[in-house]
Chain A
Amino acid sequence: MKLLTLNFLTCAIKTCKTSPSSFPLHPRDAELEILETDINLPFLKNILPRLMWDELRTITSELGLPELPPAAPTREDLVEPGAQAAEGEEVEEQPSQTAKDLHRVLLETTVKEGKLACGNCGHEYKVMEGVPNFLLPGHLV
């Protein structure tokens, strides 16, 4: 499960969703794995406004990963400066180091095994073989 997923996940229990402490879910006993994929600069630029930066910083810090900068990068920060297009010429934008780092942490860093805990109710969801399981036991449905 890539870390970007956690940006769009909360507790599956209905009563938790209205509580701010149910987001983000907290990885526990996580075994991380890097699964390399091609960097996609337009995708990173587009997803940027959707990122809950402070919460992602919390997650990466809980996982013991290198600290994310205090403020989210801008779209411009993701593009390598320099390659100026001459008039009428198309030059493909290149990803900056910031973009590469962001790609690494959000799309290539994955939780292979472990748990995701709700900060509100404490319920833990298992992650097995990279797949988080949000099915609830009968008494919590």
Chain B
Amino acid sequence: MADAEPQGAAYEEEHVHTVYEQIASHFSATRYKPWPIIEKFLKELPDGAVGADVGCGNGKYLAVNPRVFMVASDRSTNLVKIAKQHQPHASIVADIMNLPHPRHSLDFAISIAVIHHISTPERRIEAVKAILELLRPPSASEPGSGGRALIYVWALEQKDSRRGWDEGNEQDVMVPWVMRAKKEKEAKKKKGQESQEAPKEGEQPPEQPQDKTFLRYYHLYRKGELEEIIEEAGGDTVEAGYDKDNWWAIVQRKS
């Protein structure tokens, strides 16, 4: 962990929200392929189901199933502006802790790569509670009939990944996002456009673009931790697993 201790909303504002707002379009350009488990969850929903994508980012999961209606939300206005192109869905700016949906109204929710950005255990539980609160409760006669949510978080156990973290490592980390400056490409383009003219004598060369590094706060979940939080939040884990450096769980309300 870097020098500062995780401490809640203000910390997340600085080390998560502000960063995504700045890297939005670059981040979005790298996020287009849906992960298979999430795609399957969304495709198996009955036609006409209504749900939420909490922390939708660029809205890549809004393209998966046009036969359901999703209200997608994110803290980053710049990401929501990218997400809003997907029909028939809707996109809004909102915080997971204060979602503007009527309670117990939705058939499903997804929250992908979101609650690993929350910096205290209490707030992680609160975030899962907020997701559970959106869902229709199961009817008394059919225990499995309530709304369901799919949650994905980054795993601590990912020793084969580029980051190489594993069991026993620090769980609260700052992860760099590097925006590479397009030096060569830009130069080539200029050459083509300006008939390969060299900069004139005495003229300042155009400002050299520099790589920019942004640090984002993450809490890496150890094995079993996501289910513990779900339990504490009053939810039932229906199914859970590990998928490419992430822990995931499908949850429903107990009542």
Query: How many B residues are at the interface, by size bracket?
Result: 20 to 34
CB proximity of A98 to chain B, nearest CB, Å: 18
Contact B98 A9 (CB under 8 A): no
Q: Check B90 for interface membership: any CB of A closer than 8 A.
A: yes
Contact A135 B93 (CB under 8 A): yes
Contact B94 A12 (CB under 8 A): yes
Q: Which 8 A-B pairs have the closest CB atoms?
A: A46-B48, A5-B90, A134-B94, A12-B100, A133-B93, A12-B98, A134-B100, A10-B102
Q: Check A65 for interface membership: any CB of B closer than 8 A.
A: no
Contact A43 B100 (CB under 8 A): no
Known: A131-B91, A141-B9. A42 touches B98 (CB 8 A): no
Question: Which B182-208 residues sit within 8 Å CB-CB of chain A?
Answer: none
Known: A132-B92, A141-B9. A47 touches B48 (CB 8 A): yes
Q: Check B167 for interface membership: any CB of A closer than 8 A.
A: no
Residue of A nearest to B101 (CB): A8
Residue of A nearest to B46 (CB): A46
Report which of B48, B71, B80 forms a contact with A9, defined as CB distance below 8 A: B71
Contact B66 A43 (CB under 8 A): yes
Contact B67 A43 (CB under 8 A): yes
Question: Which B75-100 residues sit within 8 Å CB-CB of chain A?
Answer: 75, 77, 80-81, 84, 87-88, 90-95, 97-100
Please name all residues of chain A whose beta carbon is closer than 8 Å to the beta carbon of B80 when the two chains form the complex: 131
CB proximity of B99 to chain A, nearest CB, Å: 7
B interface footprint on A6-29 (CB within 8 Å = 1, 0 otherwise): 001111111001100001010000
Report which of B47, B93, B102 forms a contact with A23, defined as CB distance below 8 A: B102
Contact A1 B90 (CB under 8 A): yes
